[in-house]
């Protein structure tokens, strides 16, 4: 071989460099799939709040005390008690009553005899419903989604004190 001629002989590639180039994208892809699975699982588990009337708790499939629920009923007459850390009240529907403890004050137009939906879980020891969100019937979103439930709840509601 002459000194000025280029070496056109193929070089032997090292297997470790080639393997690294193949493994890194696979690891990144696997991490993306795992992260996506975790995000989807979390989103679906928080999105599955069963919608139950008070009288369906423990009777209808999905309305079990051990799971997160959206509980619909009417705030019981003379049942609202506001403490320094929580608002306690009863919600009623078709003769069934559930005690609710809501951390804080529901605000807005919340008062007795109004149909509400309370998001939360039952306390396993006391059977009190621990609410973390309260929707009052006046919101357009509530009326649009729950028109038939709202009519049924209003027909059974008490007359609020003014």
Contact status, residue 89 vs residue 80, Cβ threshold 8 Å = yes
Supply 95's token pair.
Answer: 């003769």
Distance, in Å, from the CA atom of 65 to the CA atom of 128, rounded to the nearest integer, reads 10
Average model confidence (pLDDT) for the chain?
79
Nearest to 119 by CA among 106, 108, 111, 156: 106
% pLDDT > 90, the chain: 11
> In the chain, how many H helices and how many E strands?
3, 7
Supply 60's token pair.
Answer: 């209808």
31 bridge partner residues: none
Residue matched to tokens 């306390």: 123
Summarize pLDDT for 75-104 with one digit per residue, the tens: 998 989 888 888 999 999 988 899 999 988
Q: Which of 112-116, 132-136, 138-142, 150-154 has the least mean pLDDT?
A: 138-142
More confident residue, 159 or 4: 4
Distance, in Å, from the CA atom of 151 to the CA atom of 123, rounded to the nearest integer, reads 29
Contact status, residue 121 vs residue 112, Cβ threshold 8 Å = no
Length of the chain, in residues: 162
Nearest to 63 by CA among 134, 147, 129: 129
């Amino acid at each position: 071989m002459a000194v000025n001629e280029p070496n056109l002989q193929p070089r032997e590639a090292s297997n470790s460099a080639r393997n690294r180039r193949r493994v890194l994208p696979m690891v990144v892809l696997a991490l993306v799939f795992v992260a996506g699975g975790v995000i989807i699982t979390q989103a679906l588990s928080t999105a599955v709040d069963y919608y139950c009337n008070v009288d369906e708790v423990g009777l209808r499939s999905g309305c079990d005390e051990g799971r997160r629920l959206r509980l619909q009923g009417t705030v019981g007459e003379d049942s609202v008690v506001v403490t320094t850390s929580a608002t306690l009240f009863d919600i009623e529907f078709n003769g069934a009553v559930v005690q609710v403890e809501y951390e804080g004050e529901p605000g807005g137009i919340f008062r007795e005899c109004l149909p509400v939906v309370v998001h939360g879980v039952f306390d396993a020891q006391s059977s009190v419903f621990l609410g973390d969100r309260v929707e009052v019937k006046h919101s357009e979103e509530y009326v649009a989604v729950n028109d038939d439930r709202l009519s049924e709840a209003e027909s059974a509601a008490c007359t609020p004190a003014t």
